[in-house]
Chain A
Amino acid sequence: MPFGKFVSLMIPWTILLLIGMYAIFLCLTKGLNQTNMDNRFAFGVWIFLDLSVIALGAGAFFTGFLVYIMKRDELRAVINSAVVLGFICYSGAILILMVDVGQPLRAWFTFWHPNIHSMLTEVTFCITCYLAVLSVEYAPLVLKNKKLKEIPAFLAMEYELHRIMPVLAGVGTFLSFFHQGSLGGLFGVLQAHPFAFREGLAIWPTTFFLFIISAAAAGPSFILLTTWIVSRISRKRLVSESVYTLLARISGSIPLVYVLLKSIDTFTWLNRTVPQMGLSGMSFFLWAPFNIWILFVEIIVFGLIPSLLLIFGGGRLRAGWLVASAALVCCGILLNRFVMTIQTLSLPTMAFDRFMLYTPSWQEISAFLFVVAYGVIIYSLSFRYLRLFPQETELDRN
């Protein structure tokens, strides 16, 4: 792609980035009154964004796990891209979290005075550690850049870093398991909100495990999706067909397991957990616009259907179908994160309480879009100047 065209493609994203930076600046200097969050909606679209991008970024740990620990070498074709995606998602999430807390300068309190009983402590520790791991995994990609490679020290460093990759992948998998789970636990422990509350297996509520599995489901789907989109835009073949097929199989079977477990969990919750609290499970779905359709869409339309398509259509369906199914799987995970944050807080907890909704302010939306634009720009730069897809040159030659 000529440099001029690349720049012209980046201009709209840069504008979004600048507007987002201004919104973040406003929030940091004037405070969170710039948002439309309130005492009831203490969490808003930003927490939804954090949960979503961390789930989508899970491809980094899951692919790393498959490549370095399960030795699935076919997936080396997408591991670099997965690392960049993970780095973008995690750094974006941490950035927005820093804007989202009322006193960002006190962020170190959690590290200095941690409350080990809080799910949020676990999340804070694990995502900061994992971002460090991702940065170290990202470094060799940068060092392999054609120009940087000419400096011998960088080359040596790249070699050393490469040797510890399996260790990093192991550490990353461990950290990811815990913080993906804790993000789910964050809501599952809320005994105040029967809608989100889940009974525990050992010390963790079931959402802990569901979030791990759903993140593992979203990761490969998101990699499939991005690889296909990038390949369309750059008009290059980036990975071989067999990699697409393998990714489709993985992206199909994990969501299928997830859908099964999620259904069991939902039934247990409707028929056991909620009645034990003296409430009727279906009563949560009486409040428009969050009626029963949301459960149906999440489990059937965004869960069961695309995962069946991905599993059984792998060899026969056209790439377009596979990609659409992968996109549906991602949407399902996003909807799940939306339900956990927004719907949970909108439901009344006391009899004289009200159902409430909230509309995010332009500052919140711009900061949200900032992360998207930041992701697109970092990924585009990485794609242009680094070697994200090792098979690319070989496939291009044929």
Chain B
Amino acid sequence: MSAKRAKYGMVIDVDRCTGCGACMIACAAENNVPPGPADSTDRTGITLMRIYRADNGKDFPENESVFFPVSCQQCDHHPPCVSVCPQNAVEVDAATGIVAQIPVRCLGCRYCMAACPYHARYFNWWDPVWPEGMERELNPDVSLRMRGVVEKCNLCFHRLQTAREKAAAEGRAEIIAGEYVPACVEACPAAAITFGDLLDEESEVHRLSQRGESFRLLERLGTGPKVYYTSEREWVRALAEKDPASTPGRTAATD
């Protein structure tokens, strides 16, 4: 509840992303995502951060690939999931711009999942179960979600809380940039993700987001995502707004 308003966001350099999946693993471990049971699939598992692959549609040797790590895009302007929730389980945190989902308020109607254009919301189809011993690795700062509720990325909000608490203990009202970093950003071995306050004009994330090579997914919907992507390649940038029907069959999600 600091007095200063922030808009946390990130810029993902897809030219650097190798699709290794370290961000997905770090995210799941940080946020107490249970391992799916044997009969779960890529369509029923929980991947708050998920990597999609696309290519330029050309044959070898001109073929090129790109990986898009997609988490909640933290829409800034009328997020589609907020207005549809019948019991106010989702709202935008005015102080940080984070689209916050409270699983304890969720009744599992899944309307928000149908409303999200990025498929960034996940349903707990099973009760969370950890293999013997693994429950000791659980993160105490993140509560467990029960079966039958929807969850999504909240930019590791608990890490912001921890940073704020540390600042408060030192008598500071504001955190210092860099004290709060989500798990996926920290884990990326290619340093492809830059995180920070988009309103802070001194910040690297603000500078990168304003580059001509930076773009957002489905900007035409007018939801103003706070997750930016950046690429030097023209065809990659074009993917953001491309009609999915224009190249049916040529692109596929990595499973």
Contact = CB atoms under 8 A, between A and B. Distances in A.
Interface residues of B, number: 62
Contacts, number: 180
A381 interface: no
Contacts of A283: 243-246
A284 B148 contact: no
B248 A286 contact: yes
A216 to B, nearest CB: 25
B63 interface: no
Interface string B233-255: 00000011111111110011100
Nearest to A278: B220
A348 interface: yes
A40 B253 CA distance: 13
B253 A354 contact: yes
A345 interface: yes
A42 B87 contact: no
B127 A118 contact: no
Contacts of A344: 114
Contacts of A117: 83-84
A189 B87 contact: no
Contacts of A104: 107
Contacts of A286: 245, 248
A102 B37 CA distance: 18
A39 interface: yes
A107 B105 CA distance: 10
Interface stretch (A13-21, A88-96, A190-198, A239-247): A190-198
Contacts of B111: 42, 118, 120, 186
Interface stretch (A30-38, A74-82, A263-271, A330-338): A30-38
Given A39-B113, A286-B248, A287-B248, A102 B123 contact: yes
B105 A352 contact: no
Given A103-B146, A349-B218, A353-B52, A38 B87 contact: no
A279 B246 CA distance: 9
A110 B52 CA distance: 35
Interface string A36-64: 00111111000000000000000000000
Contact of A190 (B88, B110, B114, B218): B114
A114 B85 CA distance: 9
Contacts of B244: 283, 347-351, 353
Interface in B71-97: 80, 83-89
A350 B243 contact: no
Given A38-B43, A192-B117, A355 B248 contact: yes
B116 to A, nearest CB: 6
Interface string A181-212: 00000100111110000000000000000000
Interface string B112-147: 011111110111111100000000000000000011
Contacts of B251: 351-354
Contacts of A3: none
Contacts of A347: 244
A120 B84 contact: yes
Interface of B: 37, 39, 41, 43-44, 52-54, 68, 80, 83-89, 105-111, 113-119, 121-127, 146-150, 217-218, 220-223, 239-248, 251-253
30 contacts: A31-B127, A31-B148, A32-B148, A38-B44, A40-B119, A42-B110, A101-B107, A102-B123, A102-B147, A102-B150, A109-B87, A109-B89, A112-B87, A114-B86, A114-B88, A117-B84, A186-B111, A189-B83, A189-B84, A189-B115, A191-B221, A348-B245, A349-B118, A349-B244, A350-B52, A350-B218, A351-B240, A352-B53, A354-B252, A354-B253
Given A43-B114, A348-B244, A349-B119, 18 more contacts: A39-B121, A101-B148, A103-B146, A103-B148, A109-B87, A110-B86, A114-B88, A120-B84, A189-B83, A190-B80, A279-B243, A344-B114, A350-B52, A350-B119, A351-B244, A352-B53, A352-B239, A353-B52
